[in-house]
Amino acid sequence: MNAGLGGSLHPLAGTSRALFKGSSGLHYVVEAAEANVISPESVDSANSPVLEPVMRLSRFFMPILKENPKEAEIVSHRLMLRTGMIRQQSAGIYTWLPLGKRVLDKVNAVIREEQNRSGAIELLMPTLQSAELWQESGRYDAYGKEMLRIKDRQDRPMLYGPTNEEMITDIFRSYVKSYRNLPLNLYHIQLKFRDEIRPRFGTMRSREFLMKDAYSFDLDRAGAEHAYKRMFAAYLRTFDRLGLRAIPMRADTGPIGGNLSHEFIILADTGESEVFCHKDFLGFDIPGEDTNFDDVASMNAIFEKWTSRYAATSEMHEEAAFDAIPEGERLSARGIEVGHIFYFGTKYSEAMGAKVLGPDGKEHTVHMGSYGIGPTRLVPAIIEASHDDNGIIWPKGIAPFDIVVINMKTGDDACDTACGRLYSDLGKAGFDVLLDDTDERAGGKFATADIIGVPVQVIVGPRSIANGEVEVKDRKTGARETMTVEAAINKLVAAR
């Protein structure tokens, strides 16, 4: 049989594909001119064709559990353990295994894109901080036992940062001296540690967690409020792209401080917070990709629309105001906090001397805001909002893989050939593809594909491929459609 995968089925004539195992143990798709003969021995030679690693399920580290873990109290925790996304190392501390890391990376990519779009600039601050900065701000003794305090070998007090207001203020005051350098918004994505009394629900409420923290600096309150509204709009876009309807709710500022704060809450039965809001939030339009974050009027309009209806967490709830809403338009539910933004004025800049020379030639204490999203909390929140009895249903764009090609009879020439072609062509179109080449029974293969939540399954069996056809299944709807290999590729690419 011709070693080429695709042959006349492929619209791009003149190339052929084959799957070989290299000396490293990885499998590859090999492309070369049809006139050439490709042998396994040529794969590792100095003059071999370009090699593309194949993500094979048989070699992917994904320790799926057959039984539900007893310690898992909510759906997301159970499914993250079952699918081998995470492993608990100690109370509230987790390793993100390969499947989970792929999802986490994609969530971070969406967050990063929307932060950049809004005008924020990325940096990276360390996890360990000097206690001196926190003593300077007055929060070192006030923060409580959640802060992990340590000492280095010189007996200097240090801490594992639970947040970064002090450090970012120190960075700002060291370099920015003029109003001409404002406005400024700096963010990073970094691990944090808070010694929770009772960590629970997996990475939903853990002690070590990943956070995106952004910090804005402005000359006056008007500028700071515009920065706040920019982040407000950016958060609406971020959560929407992650498949979530997040409702901004008035919230307590807590130990961060300040006098303006909103939590972004998604509704979920397993949420820890009780929330109250108007049902109109469920139908509000999300700011578009062409949103002009520099335009004050646009930001004001978005903010006013999304704060014009009643919405509050239980801590800020006003019974009389909620009761004034017509009964059919009220919504009381449980919710999960997925983001929190604060305007705290000059609380930290005053204490730490963060000042700039203004246009009037005088020194001005800058106004600040902080804006947090927890990616390691977002992942289970997405699962809570999107799952069924068979497993996770990932929104497109953040699934660990976009498509899983299921080979129903690994070792069968026709099935292997079709799978190789599907993998190669879909990969070239920009999809993340997983090839299930295991020797599991059909039921096991389908159960694996369902529980890990890959949005599209392409099923290649010996009977259907004998007719040049495969089956395409939509994980979310369960809809199945039989079509030719060519049609499957074209349809998936067109829908991208």
Given a cut of 90, whether residue 38 has pLDDT beyond it is no
pLDDT interval class at 420 (50, 70, 90): very high
- pLDDT at position 257, please? 52
Report the pLDDT averaged over residues 176-203: 95
Given a cut of 70, whether residue 24 has pLDDT beyond it is no
Report the pLDDT averaged over residues 55-59: 94
- Chain centre to alpha carbon of residue 82: 19
Given a cut of 80, whether residue 259 has pLDDT beyond it is no
First-to-last C-alpha distance (Å) of the chain: 34
CB of 40 closer than 8 Å to CB of 53: no
- pLDDT at position 253, please? 59
Report the pLDDT averaged over residues 456-484: 97
Locate CATH 3.30.930.10 in the chain: 75-391
6-10, 428-432, 480-484: range with lowest mean pLDDT: 6-10
- pLDDT at position 71, please? 87
Given a cut of 50, whether residue 439 has pLDDT beyond it is yes
144-148, 294-298, 451-455: range with lowest mean pLDDT: 144-148
pTM above 0.85, yes or no: yes
pLDDT interval class at 132 (50, 70, 90): very high
- The span from the CA of 479 to the CA of 293, in Å, is 40
pLDDT interval class at 496 (50, 70, 90): confident
Tens-place pLDDT, residues 75-100: 999 999 999 999 999 999 999 999 99
Report the pLDDT averaged over residues 417-423: 96
Given a cut of 70, whether residue 21 has pLDDT beyond it is no
Residue 406: HSE in the Cβ half-sphere, 13 Å Cα cutoff: 23
- 3-state SS, one letter per residue, for the chain: CCCCCCHHHCCCCCEEEEEEECCCCCEEEEEEECCCCCCHHHCCCCCCCCEEECCECCCCCCCCCCCCCCCCCCHHHHHHHHCCCEEEEECCEEEECHHHHHHHHHHHHHHHHHHHHCCCEECCCCCEEEHHHHHHHCCCCCCCCCCEEEECCCCCEEEECCCCHHHHHHHHHHHCCEHHHCCEEEEEEEEEECCCCCCECHHHECCEEEEEEEEEEECCHHHHHHHHHHHHHHHHHHHHHCCCCCEEEECCCHHHCCCEEEEEEEECCCCCEEEEEEHHHHHCCCCCCCCCCCCHHHHHHHHHHHHCCCEEEHHHCCHHHHHCCCHHHEEEEEEEEEEEEEEEECHHHHHHCCEEECCCCCEEECEEEEEEECHHHHHHHHHHHCEECCEECCCCCCCCCCEEEEECCCCCHHHHHHHHHHHHHHHHCCCCEEEECCCCCHHHHHHHHHHHCCCEEEEECHHHHHCCEEEEEECCCCCEEEEEHHHHHHHHHHCC
pLDDT interval class at 49 (50, 70, 90): very low
Q: What is the mean pLDDT of the chain?
A: 89
CATH superfamily, domain at 401-496: Anticodon-binding domain (3.40.50.800)
Tens-place pLDDT, residues 389-400: 999 999 989 999
What is the identity of the amino acid at 285? D
Q: How many CB atoms lie within 10 A of CB 430?
A: 9
- pLDDT at position 258, please? 56
Given a cut of 80, whether residue 42 has pLDDT beyond it is no
- pLDDT at position 254, please? 59
Tens-place pLDDT, residues 269-325: 888 889 999 999 999 999 999 999 999 999 999 999 999 999 998 888 999 999 999
* Exposure string for 268-288, b = 16+ CB within 10 A, e = fewer: bebbebebbbbebbeeeebbe
- The span from the CA of 28 to the CA of 365, in Å, is 59
Q: Tell me which fold the domain 75-391 belongs to.
A: BirA Bifunctional Protein; domain 2 (3.30.930)
